[in-house]
Amino acid sequence: MHRPYLWDPAQGGLFPADELLGVDGLLTRHARRLVTLAGIDHSFARAQQVRAEFCGWEVDDDVIRQTTHAEARRVADQRPERNDAMPFEKADGEIDVLIDAGKVHAHGVAGCEVRLFLKRKPGSGATPDEWDQRDLPSPTVRAVVAAIEEAEHFGHRLRRESDRLNVTTHPSVTVLGDGAEWIWNLASDHLPQAAGVLDIYHLLEHGGRAMKGMGGSEEVIRTRCAPARRAVLREGKSGFERWLGGAFAELSTATSMEPLLDLAAYAAKHPTRSGYAERFAPGRSIGSGAVEGGIKQLLNLRMKRTGARWRVEHAGPLVKLRAINQIN
């Protein structure tokens, strides 16, 4: 194919036909999209094979890598101008903000912080015996923030997104997360008006670990855990503390107190975050599983493959690009 080449003193050399054909560099706009879709879901080497098998044309895996990272950076840079703030504000449901971190093999660091903003309509109400058997409605809208950086810088990133989505000063926002101190520090600094809920599964997991540390058979451990679960689900902090006091009283002199002391110290850090009955009775979430599942889908499946190594500046934008692709 032959095409004229023009020189402009202001713009330099150019091919006028490229603009008409949508060619920017080596690929057309549609080709860039196809290459990027392959690059965010597969290793770059596998993406090269997928493009050849599905489209009948080959693109070098290095071109796929460069194109995918370039598109991820472009999308990340355009975040302040994205037009999803109004749809988020108008969507039905109550606002939950879920925070967690996942590990990724990046040069010099290991953690990628992820924050998921979502709205969800309340589901069916549940009793303490039914809460873990109910199906919550799917979110009506979602937005994801991800980056590998120091917590302070990530906090500023979260605040910008909270402001952009009009979440920061909203009168009804709930932050859900596990017991990690950095999560609640971020929430306190950047969403000071939000309520907090400690993920119920993490609390019960710590309780089960304490019961196991006290020794005994599996049946004995389950018998110990059952009243703790009922107490915290029915009465929150007061019920948990009453059960814990009874557990200390029943300890024999030959049994170590350390497991219960560790559990008490863990729960003491979250005195206002165990109001579970007030949330699951009207059909609201009491767990942060959505962000943990998001980390698995957005981070682990693509970025924790055998032998994969990432640059810090590439990880966050790629996670966000995967999130946008899944949401849309």
Give per-residue pLDDT as tens, 111-150.
677 778 899 999 888 888 888 888 889 999 988 888 777 7
The pLDDT of residue 133: 83
Exposed / middle / buried, residue 226 (Cβ in 10 Å: 0-12, 13-18, 19+): exposed
Whether the model pTM is above 0.75 = yes
The pLDDT tens digits of the residues spanning 283-300 come to 999 998 887 777 777 667
Exposed / middle / buried, residue 20 (Cβ in 10 Å: 0-12, 13-18, 19+): exposed
The pLDDT of residue 117: 87
- For residue 298, give the 3-state DSSP assignment: helix
The pLDDT of residue 30: 81
- Name the nearest CA neighbour of 314 among 114, 69, 111, 66: 69
The pLDDT tens digits of the residues spanning 32-90 come to 888 888 888 888 888 899 888 888 888 888 989 899 998 888 888 887 777 888 999 99
Give the architecture (CATH level 2) of 85-198+287-326.
Answer: 2-Layer Sandwich (3.30)
The pLDDT of residue 322: 81
Over residues 189-215, the mean pLDDT reads: 91
Query: Is 242's pLDDT higher than 60?
Result: yes
In whole angstroms, give the CA distance from residue 206 to residue 228: 11
Looking up tokens 């058997």 gives 133
CA atoms within 13 A on the CB side of 47: 24
Looking up tokens 């989505």 gives 165
- For residue 28, give the 3-state DSSP assignment: strand
In whole angstroms, give the CA distance from residue 153 to residue 157: 6
The pLDDT of residue 173: 95
Model confidence band, residue 19 (pLDDT cutoffs 50, 70, 90): low
Query: Is 188's pLDDT higher than 80?
Result: yes
